[in-house]
Structure 1
Amino acid sequence: MIDGTVALPHGITARPARRGDKDFLAKLYRANRDDIRLAEGETDYLENIIEMQLEAQINGYGDQFPNALYLVLEKNGSRIGRVTFDIGSVELRLIDLDFIKKAKNKGYGSGIIIWMMQTAAKIKKPALVPARRDNQLLLRFLHKYGYTEESTMSDDVFARMIWFPTTEEMAGLTDIRPRPAVMGAV
Structure 2
Amino acid sequence: MRKLNLPDGLHIRPSRPSDRPFLEQLHHATREDLQLIQGEKELIESVIEMQFKAQNQGYGDQFPNAMYFIIEKHHEAIGKATLDFGHNEIRLLDIAFLPQARRHGFGKAIIQSFQMAATQACAPLSLTVLKDNLAAQRLYLSLGFRVDSFQEPYYFMAWYPPIQRAMSAG
TM-score tier after normalising by the smaller chain length = 0.7 to 0.9
In 1, Cα distance between equivalents of 2:108 and 2:148: 20
Name the structure, 1 or 2, with higher relative contact order (CA <8 Å, separation 6+): 2
- Are positions 1:138 and 2:136 aligned together? yes
- C-alpha contact (below 8 Å) 1:148/1:163 kept by paired residues: yes
**Secondary structure in structure 2 of the residue aligned to 1:146:** coil
Percent sequence identity over matched residues? 35
Q: Which residue of 2 aligns with 1:166?
A: 162
Deviation, 1:117, is 0.9
- C-alpha contact (below 8 Å) 2:145/2:159 kept by paired residues: yes
- C-alpha contact (below 8 Å) 1:8/1:14 kept by paired residues: no
Structure 1: 5+ residue runs without aligned partners?
A: 171-180
TM-score (norm 1): 0.80
Q: Which residue of 2 aligns with 1:70?
A: 68
After TM superposition, which residue ranges in structure 1, 4 or more long, deviate above 4 angstroms?
none
> How many residues are treated as equivalent by the alignment?
166
Q: Which residue of 2 aligns with 1:176?
A: none
Output the amino acid matched with 2:12: A
**Secondary structure in structure 1 of the residue aligned to 2:168:** coil
Structure 2: 5+ residue runs without aligned partners?
A: none
Q: CA RMSD in A?
A: 2.2
Output the amino acid matched with 2:90: L
Q: Which residue of 2 aligns with 1:27?
A: 25
CA separation of 1:182 and 1:76: change in aligned 2, threshold 3 A: same
- Are positions 1:121 and 2:150 aligned together? no
Q: Which residue of 1 aligns with 2:96?
A: 98
- C-alpha contact (below 8 Å) 1:7/1:14 kept by paired residues: no
- C-alpha contact (below 8 Å) 1:8/1:112 kept by paired residues: no
